[in-house]
Amino acid sequence: MTETLPALKPLSEAPEIDFAALDNSPDSHAVLRDLRARAPVARTPMGIVLALRHHHLDLVTSDATRQIETETKMMQGIFDGPIFEFISAVMLFANGDVHLRRRMPVSRAFAFKLMDAMRPVARQMTEELITPHLDGAPVEFVSQFAAQLPARIIADILGIPRSDLPVFLQWIADTAEAIGFIEPERRPKIEASLVAFGAYVAELIKERRAHPREDFITEYLANTARDETLSEMEIQSQVVGLILAGSDTTRGSMGMTLAHMLTRRDQWDAFCADPDGLKKAVIDEGLRFDPVISGLPRIAVQDLEIDGYLIPGGTPVAVSILSSLRDPAVYADPDRFDITRTDHPRWHPVFGAGAHRCVGEALARAEMEEALATLARLAPNAELVGDFPKLAPGAIRQISPMSVAFKR
């Protein structure tokens, strides 16, 4: 196929960026804006191509690329052990028939209608968590609320005792690191958490098989038993993956969206005046402006062209969510946070696309929309106290602590 693309630029002509330089920048959006102005793609010393424009999201559904599997772990020198086994077994890092057979039992049990029914639960839990703090005393929002709400909801869906949540939350935080680039000194702690997390889920599965309930895990196990194509490791890994996806990203997105709203009082006041009418718009803009998912990794399965550059088959390609959601070709004044924006695509890119679109999108939206709408009703005079939160680098960008004073 290379012969048919003689006029394409080689990757060597694309600007180079080190992920460390991007991660250490005080303004990653400014770095990506500069890169995007110079070229549609960038390259890293590790051989990864960074696709920077919004229309590059089409690569996620293109037959010319596939979901990355264990390649990023091998690039980090990880060829075995709990991290490698988890990445090998979870549906997020699978393709074709393997991905389909891992995803289908989850999809059946994680139906949109069922997850949408969690909206009253999210409202009630938000009231329970925030009402004791309406005296105006600052509260650490991330640990006391943003982490608690999704963890409690996913725990209730899975039938996990609330008393197990503290250690559960630590497992979630450590497991999130397993997906991205891992600091070598962190590997033992991440692997220890993965082993403990896996053992806990294995016991949960064993208990549900012995004593079925009317809950997600029982339904999920019934779905996996229909065709008996999943190994025990695959069954266990999908549950671990769902807990992770249903907790970690929601925490960061909720915190950052609230922080941006509270520092734009005109928009916060408008939201407080019509929380139900604006809750979807608020979350859409929060997810766009500061996404906690940094990119969507793919691998070129053949030589392909990206805006005039030749991408050789076998090249890892990361579609930058951070860059694509600030692309001025799609979003007017993209560096402005605006809940009245009308140029959002119908399907929010942060949830992925095609066969790999996030199976927990409905639940994440229900949690975030109802939580922030409830906060707007209960605490219209809320204020951000101290420093604005930051998102640390990584595949899933972890939010720093943030203090909020909730006032009626």
Q: What's the mean pLDDT in 366-374?
A: 96
pLDDT tier for residue 1 given thresholds of 50, 70 and 90: very low
Q: Is the pLDDT reported for residue 156 higher than 90? A: no
Tell which wins on pLDDT, 127 or 247: 127
Q: Is the pLDDT reported for residue 22 higher than 80? A: no
Q: What is the pLDDT of residues 41-51, one digit of tens each?
A: 999 888 899 99
pLDDT tier for residue 7 given thresholds of 50, 70 and 90: confident
Whole-number pLDDT of residue 247: 74
pLDDT tier for residue 257 given thresholds of 50, 70 and 90: very high
Q: What's the mean pLDDT in 253-261?
A: 97
Highest mean pLDDT among 245-259, 332-346, 390-404: 332-346
Give the distance, in angstroms, between the CA of residue 142 and the centroid of all CA atoms in the same chain.
16
Query: What pTM was computed for the model?
Result: 0.91
Q: Is the pLDDT reported for residue 4 higher than 70? A: no
Q: Give the domain extent around 232.
A: 2-405
Whole-number pLDDT of residue 115: 67
Whole-number pLDDT of residue 138: 96
Whole-number pLDDT of residue 162: 81
Cβ atoms 247, 172 nearer than 8 A: yes
Q: Is the torsion defined by CA of 30, 33, 35, 41 positive or negative?
A: positive
Q: Is the pLDDT reported for residue 197 higher than 70? A: yes
Tell which wins on pLDDT, 19 or 33: 33
Q: What's the mean pLDDT in 1-18?
A: 76
Q: Is the pLDDT reported for residue 2 higher than 50? A: no
What integer best gives the mean pLDDT of the chain? 90
Q: What's the mean pLDDT in 280-298?
A: 95
User: What CATH number should be reported for the domain holding residue 81?
Assistant: 1.10.630.10
Q: What's the mean pLDDT in 85-111?
A: 89
pLDDT tier for residue 301 given thresholds of 50, 70 and 90: very high
Q: What's the mean pLDDT in 99-128?
A: 84
Q: Which amino acid is at 99?
A: H
Q: Is the pLDDT reported for residue 27 higher than 50? A: yes
Q: What's the mean pLDDT in 201-225?
A: 90
Q: Is the pLDDT reported for residue 313 higher than 60? A: yes
Q: How far apart are CA 73 and CA 381, in angstroms?
A: 46
Q: What's the mean pLDDT in 9-23?
A: 85
Q: What's the mean pLDDT in 246-271?
A: 93
Total domains present in the chain: 1
Q: Which amino acid is at 328?
A: P
pLDDT tier for residue 113 given thresholds of 50, 70 and 90: low
Q: How far apart are CA 192 and CA 242, in angstroms?
A: 19
Long-range CB pairs of 187-193 (<8 Å, 24+ gap) are 187/78, 187/83, 190/83, 191/81, 191/82, 191/83
Q: How far apart are CA 57 and CA 248, in angstroms?
A: 23
Q: What's the mean pLDDT in 147-173?
A: 84
Q: What's the mean pLDDT in 66-89?
A: 93
Tell which wins on pLDDT, 117 or 303: 303
